């Protein structure tokens, strides 16, 4: 005589839930990690673009007796476009030690930009979205006098 329970394997109430748990845990852990990587990469790109803009702006000002704001902003737009950032507000300010056009004087370019975190402009709008402010400065020596 065989027992009816001995012929059938025991069924566990948790059988088949490993796949569901794996998918749920993957989604809960993967989405924040992917967002964090996107945010860090966008901030790193903006940091590189801000630094490149400061270097270029100070070099433009060191070579010209009267630095052109328009030219500096064109170069800034080019740097930010190279890093995939368009429509980012950029502020460029200059300060000089001594006369700006005099050979040997130092000219410093300060660049400031505000970069929104990914996805937030869609939720809050462009003006009200959280952002990071990035600043860079670079000093260069004026090589020639402004007199031609």
**Does 109 or 120 have the greater pLDDT score?**
109
Range of the domain at 67: 16-141
7 assigned to some structural domain: no
- For residue range 125-142, list pLDDT tens digits in order: 777 788 899 999 999 998
118 assigned to some structural domain: yes
146 assigned to some structural domain: no
3 assigned to some structural domain: no
Residue 54, CA distances (Å) to 3, 57, 66, 75, 76 in order: 84, 5, 17, 10, 8
pTM above 0.95, yes or no: no
Average pLDDT over residues 11-16: 66
85 assigned to some structural domain: yes
Domain total for the chain? 1
Give the DSSP H or E segment for 34: helix 18-63
105 assigned to some structural domain: yes
């Amino acid at each position: 005589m065989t027992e009816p329970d001995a012929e059938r394997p025991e069924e566990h109430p948790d059988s088949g839930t490993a796949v569901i748990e794996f998918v749920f845990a993957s989604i809960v852990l993967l989405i924040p990690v992917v967002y964090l990587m996107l945010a860090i990469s966008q901030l790193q790109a903006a940091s590189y673009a801000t630094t490149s803009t400061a270097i270029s702006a100070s070099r433009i000002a060191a070579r010209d007796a009267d630095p052109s704001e328009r030219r500096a902003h064109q170069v800034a737009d080019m740097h930010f476009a190279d890093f995939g950032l368009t429509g980012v507000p950029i502020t460029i300010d200059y300060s000089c030690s001594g006369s700006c056009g005099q050979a040997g004087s130092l000219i410093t370019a300060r660049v400031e930009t505000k970069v929104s975190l990914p996805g937030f402009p869609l939720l809050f709008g462009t003006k009200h979205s959280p952002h990071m402010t990035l600043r860079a400065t670079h000093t260069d020596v004026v090589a020639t006098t402004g007199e031609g």
